[in-house]
Amino acid sequence: MAQPAAAKAPAPARAMGSSNQHSAFKDKTKPAEIRASSITAAKAVADAVRTSLGPKGMDKMIQEPKGDVTITNDGATILQQMKLAHPAAKMLVELSKAQDAEAGDGTTSVVILAGALLDASAKLLSRGIHPTAISESFLRAGEKCSEILTDMATPVDLSDRESLLKSASTSLNSKVVHQHAGTLAATSVDAVLKVIDPAKDTNVDLKDIKIMKKLGGVVEDTELIDGVLFDQKSSSFGGPTRVDKPKIGLIQFCISPPKTDMDNQVVVSDYAAMDRVLREERQYLLNIVKQIKKSGCNVLLVQKSILRDAVSDLAHHFLAKMKIMVIKDIEREDIEYVCKSLNVRPAASLDHFTADTLATAELAEEIQTGSSKMVKITGVQNRGRTVNVLLRGSNKLVLEEADRSLHDALCVIRCLVKKRALIAGGGAPEMEMTLRLSEHSHTLTGVEAYCFRAFADALEIIPYTLAENAGLNPIVTVTELRNRHAKGEKNAGINVRRGQITNILEESVVQPLLVSVSAITLAAETVCSILKIDDVINVVN
Ligand code: ADP
Ligand code: MG
């Protein structure tokens, strides 16, 4: 892929060792050069993702050095994979990451907006306006924009499933897997609604929604699992693969011979001593397994251990004999999720492993999914608010992109839980902001009015790009859109399917207010910090 940050990093600050103390400060053109170079580099990044905006946007194929290929439409993913040299270009990558963390969607839009704002500021700078004046006005304009957006928004209730589905679909429509938008939208809405209490929750912990990717089948086969799934099969040592009314325990210690703290060697010279060592080991393991059995546990979950075997072969053998099903290699970061969903308490040592830490359920059984086996536990008593999604896909590229898209859709619903308001999509909010902001600029004076107007015009980049990517004539489309908004049609937007300007709410293209607000404020902030940089100091020896 072409290096987007074509502009090279500027030369390091000149040494100030000259005899004339003031000579270093006489270089008046330098800050301007640095600024120009930052703006050029950052704009190049924005241009690289521009073609992927919107439902008719293009996808990118990213080839990694090792040969792995990713196909994606997600701005944050594209930018993350780029190897950028210029520090200002890297700021845009951080910008899209910030948007990903805050809202989860709108990662392409935020970068495009920042690019357009930088373009506007370059023009303002060339007219001799001071960077500080520009950045202060831009920050205020950003605040004004969020007010305008909030005015436009319509409140939404979490019981209004139809609206939630629509907003998830809007986000999914622009993805590579858009033909499966229906399934994924329904999955994301159901998953979020299962883990929250709509009456009082104001955030969603996405860790409570565990997505498991399994190759095979098609995306349509994706389902919410009624129960708790484990990616592992139960260990094969002749132990049970199906347990009725299981008592489930979770251990964080190992059932294998202990290791010495230091690298030691024990030399065993005769058979009698060897026998003794083996007997000791048997006795040690048997003791642990017996205690586990005594607590009543018959499904044992074991955390993955990096130091030694979590469960040795001999221990497996004993556990199998005592009819205890073993699921090992549970990742450390999954422990919290497992505890919450099964209502089980993890035991860090054998002494803590007692009957009251165990969870009860109706059934634990090994099931076949695609080409591999998984363990599924159903009917968990006092189950926590978590949910399991089994994501399917016919090949790795589709599956990975479906995962990323589902994440975006989940984030969209999360935005609605955080801030229960929706606005129209399709360039309508941006055009409305342009008009209202220019109106507002008439009430201002001097440089600020000028900067506000420039900010307002820059926002037209979103409808312009949407039209361009959809194969429409951008100038004609944006002009018509502007006229319609000027006539008071707040929700007029670009209907990419019909190639016209229509009321976009009737097209069911809606997006969370939070996504747009966060995009505009984050973009304005990043542009301000880029404008304020007047030197790049390289610390390289
Ligand atoms: P991002 O990564 O910024 O979310 P997308 O590729 O998802 O980028 O594009 C989002 C933009 O596409 C938003 O401005 C949204 O309003 C617009 N959009 C999405 N679906 C439609 C549609 N069906 N018609 C018109 N515009 C749409
Ligand atoms: Mg999107």
Residue 525 shares a structural domain with residue 438: yes
CATH number of the CATH domain containing 123: 1.10.560.10
pLDDT at 23: 52
Residue 376 shares a structural domain with residue 241: yes
CB 428 within 8 A of CB 507: no
Residues, CB-to-ion distance under 5 Å, ligand 2: 105, 171
Rounded to 10 degrees, the C-alpha dihedral 348/350/356/358 comes to: 70
Report yes or no on 431 lying in a domain: yes
pLDDT at 480: 92
Residue 367 shares a structural domain with residue 433: no
Minimal-distance CA residue to ligand 1 atom 26: 426
Ligand 1 centre distance from Cα of residue 210 (Å): 26
Cα 135 vs. chain centroid, distance in angstroms? 29
Under DSSP, the state recorded for 299 is E
What's the rounded Cα separation, in Å, for the pair 151 and 362? 51
Question: 258 — phi, psi (to 5°)?
Answer: -65, 155
pLDDT at 310: 83
Q: Strand 387-393's sheet: what is its strand order? A: 209-215, 387-393, 223-225
Give the closest ligand to the alpha carbon of residue 57: 1
Nearest to 43 by CA among 99, 107, 119: 119
Residue by residue, DSSP assigns 138-155 as HHHHHHHHHHHHHHH-EE
What's the rounded Cα separation, in Å, for the pair 482 and 431? 7
Atom of ligand 1 nearest to the CA of 430: 14
Minimal-distance CA residue to ligand 1 atom 27: 426
Report yes or no on 528 lying in a domain: yes
Give the closest ligand to the alpha carbon of residue 504: 1
Q: How many domains does the chain have?
A: 2
CB 535 within 8 A of CB 30: yes
Residue 239 shares a structural domain with residue 385: yes
pLDDT at 24: 54
pLDDT at 26: 58
Atom of ligand 1 nearest to the CA of 57: 6
Question: Which of 393, 409, 433 is at the close of a domain?
Answer: 393
Question: Which of 393, 415, 442 is at the close of a domain?
Answer: 393
Residue 469 shares a structural domain with residue 389: no
pLDDT at 57: 82
Host domain of residue 236: 225-393
Residue 233 shares a structural domain with residue 380: yes
465 lines ligand 1 (CB under 6 A): no
54 lines ligand 1 (CB under 6 A): yes
pLDDT at 435: 92
Cα dihedral sign, 178-180-182-186:
negative
User: For a substitution probing ligand 1, which of 111, 170, 472, 507 has the most ligand atoms within 8 Å of its CB?
Assistant: 170
96 lines ligand 1 (CB under 6 A): no
Residue 389 shares a structural domain with residue 437: no
What's the rounded Cα separation, in Å, for the pair 515 and 258? 52
CB 310 within 8 A of CB 329: yes
Residue 364 shares a structural domain with residue 440: no
pLDDT at 368: 84
511 lines ligand 1 (CB under 6 A): yes
pLDDT at 104: 84
Report yes or no on 408 lying in a domain: no
Look at strands 60-63 and 228-230 and give their pairing: unpaired
Residue 54 shares a structural domain with residue 148: yes
Report yes or no on 207 lying in a domain: no
Give the closest ligand to the alpha carbon of residue 174: 1
pLDDT at 483: 92
Report yes or no on 512 lying in a domain: yes
428 lines ligand 1 (CB under 6 A): no
Ligand 2 centre distance from Cα of residue 412 (Å): 9
Question: pTM, whole model, 2 decimals?
Answer: 0.83
Question: Which of 371, 393, 415 is at the close of a domain?
Answer: 393
Question: 250 — phi, psi (to 5°)?
Answer: -125, 120
What's the rounded Cα separation, in Å, for the pair 519 and 142? 10
- Hey, which residues are catalytic here? 74, 107-108, 408
Nearest to 187 by CA among 420, 385, 425, 387: 387
pLDDT at 25: 54
Question: 190 — phi, psi (to 5°)?
Answer: -60, -40
Task: Count other C-beta atoms under 10 Å from residue 7's C-beta.
Answer: 20
CATH number of the CATH domain containing 303: 3.50.7.10
Report yes or no on 194 lying in a domain: no
Atom of ligand 1 nearest to the CA of 107: 2
Residue 372 shares a structural domain with residue 496: no
Report yes or no on 103 lying in a domain: yes
What token pair was written down for 368?
């076949």
Nearest to 120 by CA among 370, 519, 541, 434: 434
The helix or strand, by DSSP H or E, that contains position 244, with its residue range, turns out to be strand 242-244
Atom of ligand 1 nearest to the CA of 171: 7
Ligand 1 centre distance from Cα of residue 445 (Å): 35
Residue 364 shares a structural domain with residue 486: no
**How many residues does this entry show for the chain?**
541
CB 517 within 8 A of CB 466: no
Residue 382 shares a structural domain with residue 265: yes
Instruction: Pinpoint the alpha helices (H) of 13-160.
Output: 29-50, 75-81, 87-102, 107-126, 131-152
72 lines ligand 1 (CB under 6 A): no
Report yes or no on 438 lying in a domain: yes
Residues of the chain with pLDDT under 50: 1-20
